[in-house]
Amino acid sequence: MQQHDVLDRARGIQDWIVDLRRRLHRHPELMYEEVETSRLVRETLDQLDIPYRANVAVTGVVATLGRGEPCVALRADMDALPIHEEADIDFRSEIDGKMHACGHDCHTAMLLGAAKLLKQNESELVGTVKLVFQPAEEGGAGGRRMREEGVLENPKVQRIFGLHVWPLSPIGTIVSRAGAFLAATGEFEIVVHGKGGHAALPHMTIDPVTTAAKIVTELQTIVSRELDPLDSGVISVTTIHGGAAFNVIPQDVKLQGTIRALTMESLQYLEQRVTEIAQQLAAANRCTAQVEIVGNSYPPTVNDEHLWQLAREAGADLLGADNVLESPPIMGGEDFSFYTEVIPGCFVGVGVLNPDIGAIHSVHHPKFKVDENALPIGSALHVSLALRSLAELSG
């Protein structure tokens, strides 16, 4: 396959890619529940006569094209989010309270599009391309589980690429950077325990509400007063739950939130300080605080400098050099980072912003939508990255 006609060939199967994406979009499934999504991936691979290994990390699928070494991997995530869709599209989610609000339906369809194109030219592959369809990116650390179950082995993967639809950049562009592109992320839960009672008699209670309010305020000083101003960090309290009546001081108040930084060292420091401040501030107000770092802490997504340069060149050939954009670090997190912890990789955004069709909302928004003209761009970029890498590695 000639590199210069990859995008034309991808656009030639755009309707096929879009149909897959819309079928996935109508039936979103949450992390480790991607049963029907996985079935659609397997059925499509069967139709393309591409061998695969199923039930990896519960619902994951790993397909292979070509044979032997070198070996390059392309990754797509498959899970949806617990969000009720409000987008004005005629293929909206058919499952109340679940939505592909982060574009993983697009990622899966783009990788299947790449699979179709690569299969048509499999005899020309000098080595192996692994297609990694991964569950549970949204908090379930599916990337780590896939890695632990050997997706980077047999044959050994030498580099990996991942794509993400990017609502911050216009259609027809790609975006990324060398080094830390996305943040390390963690999640915390704080339960403040006090002594409840009648709100008219506060002196006979130990108020966890006012204590929780002080903790929320004080946590904001960690980043502003303890991190280097040239470093980056985020501590956001996102939920507060306590009490059920206007005239009752409750026994407990629960806070939840997220912590983000560009290194694991900074993330671990912020997690430690959240714990210390919450517990000590609670004690100063005669309460106690139970602090837990919950879920899975994700490492930062760090792009290999050489691979970003390779992706820049691929993007320039597909879209023109002016449409390859450099991004500052973004404080969102991605479990693609579990792969780049152990092998070189590059994670690239594919622009989907288009105000003319109302594609203006960011990910995790109930009205999130994409310009589907980006899908063949993603498929073509996958193919180009695989072909360039195999050619380079085979020397």
249 and 125 in a common domain: no
229 and 108 in a common domain: no
320 and 289 in a common domain: no
pLDDT score for 395: 78
CATH number of the domain enclosing 273: 3.30.70.360
Note the pLDDT tens digit of each residue in 187-243: 999 999 999 999 999 999 999 999 999 999 999 999 999 999 989 999 999 999 999
117 and 55 in a common domain: yes
347 and 260 in a common domain: no
179 and 194 in a common domain: no
- How many separate domains does the chain show? 2
Note the pLDDT tens digit of each residue in 8-56: 999 999 999 999 999 999 999 999 999 999 999 999 999 999 999 999 9
The predicted model scores a pTM of 0.94
The answer to whether the CB of 338 falls within 8 A of the CB of 302 is no
**55-59, 230-234, 271-275, 294-298: segment of lowest average pLDDT:** 294-298
Choose one of 272, 298, 324: the last residue of a domain. Answer: 298
pLDDT score for 289: 98
Q: Residue 296 — very low, low, confident or very high, per pLDDT cuts 50/70/90?
A: confident
pLDDT at 4 over 80: no
Note the pLDDT tens digit of each residue in 104-118: 999 999 999 999 999
| Token couple for 147 | 């890695």
Boundaries of domain holding 213 = 190-298
333 and 203 in a common domain: no
CATH number of the domain enclosing 386: 3.40.630.10
263 and 199 in a common domain: yes
Choose one of 275, 298, 321: the last residue of a domain. Answer: 298
Percent of residues, the chain, with pLDDT higher than 90: 97
pLDDT at 366 over 80: yes
336 and 213 in a common domain: no
Choose one of 268, 298, 328: the last residue of a domain. Answer: 298
pLDDT score for 1: 64
227 and 171 in a common domain: no
Mean pLDDT of 313-317: 97
175 and 153 in a common domain: yes
Q: What is the mean pLDDT of the chain?
A: 97
